[in-house]
Chain A
Amino acid sequence: EAGVVQSPRYKIIEKKQPVAFWCNPISGHNTLYWYLQNLGQGPELLIRYENEEAVDDSQLPKDRFSAERLKGVDSTLKIQPAELGDSAVYLCASSWGSSYSNEQFFGPGTRLTVL
């Protein structure tokens, strides 16, 4: 069974440029998470989807970040415009449900460097 797929794995951009990250969750998983992981820190939730609905986006900086999950499968996270402080790893995870017993499976992440 394929795991959570993310692309690109690495992205280098200049500040003020837009950037987008893509995530394909494990087949059948209806809950999808985007996390931000700064260097030397644990992941922090940005947004959680249940099917197509964003049920928790309280930590998403909506002035520059946006996300979508069309058809309740793949998801895209966008930053426009990127700032130096956005340099981090962006992790995507998925699970069958959203209760604790439904293990979250993580992708390899996208490492963003903003110059």
Chain B
Amino acid sequence: AQTVTQSQPEMSVQEAETVTLSCTYDTSENNYYLFWYKQPPSRQMILVIRQEAYKQQNATENRFSVNFQKAAKSFSLKISDSQLGDTAMYFCAFMIFNNNDMRFGAGTRLTVKP
């Protein structure tokens, strides 16, 4: 069974600083995909960034980047230059190639302080 673990239930960061959210996963599969989703207080979840396991290069999207360590089964999210609008729940998610069952972690509540 595939599991996703987010060990930080809550985190906070000062505006303009950098924060890293942790995620580990467990799978015996070799081909899979990893995602970070953001769920602001309004509850509408949006995709932040995604990574294909076969790619060694870490994905980046503007201020968001990941540190993908396949051997360690680790997939952390780094948010640079944090903004107040980054305040949200962040969910790490995993999906096996050709199997559309997406598994989510329990989430990390991030608060950006002014």
A91 CB contacts on chain B under 8 angstroms: 45
Contact call B106/A40, Cβ cutoff below 8 A = yes
Contact call B93/A108, Cβ cutoff below 8 A = no
Majority secondary structure, A binding face: loop
Of the four ranges (under 10, 10 to 19, 20 to 34, 35 or more), the interface on chain B belongs to 20 to 34
Contact call A100/B42, Cβ cutoff below 8 A = no
Of the four ranges (under 10, 10 to 19, 20 to 34, 35 or more), the interface on chain A belongs to 20 to 34
In the bound complex, CA of A106 to CA of B93 (Å): 14
Interface membership of B43, Cβ < 8 A: yes
B interface list, Cβ under 8 A from A: 4, 9, 33, 42-47, 50, 52, 91, 93, 95, 97-98, 100-102, 104-107
What are the 9 tightest A-B residue pairs by CB atom distance, in nearest-first order?
Answer: A42-B104, A106-B45, A100-B33, A98-B100, A108-B44, A109-B43, A42-B91, A103-B47, A108-B43
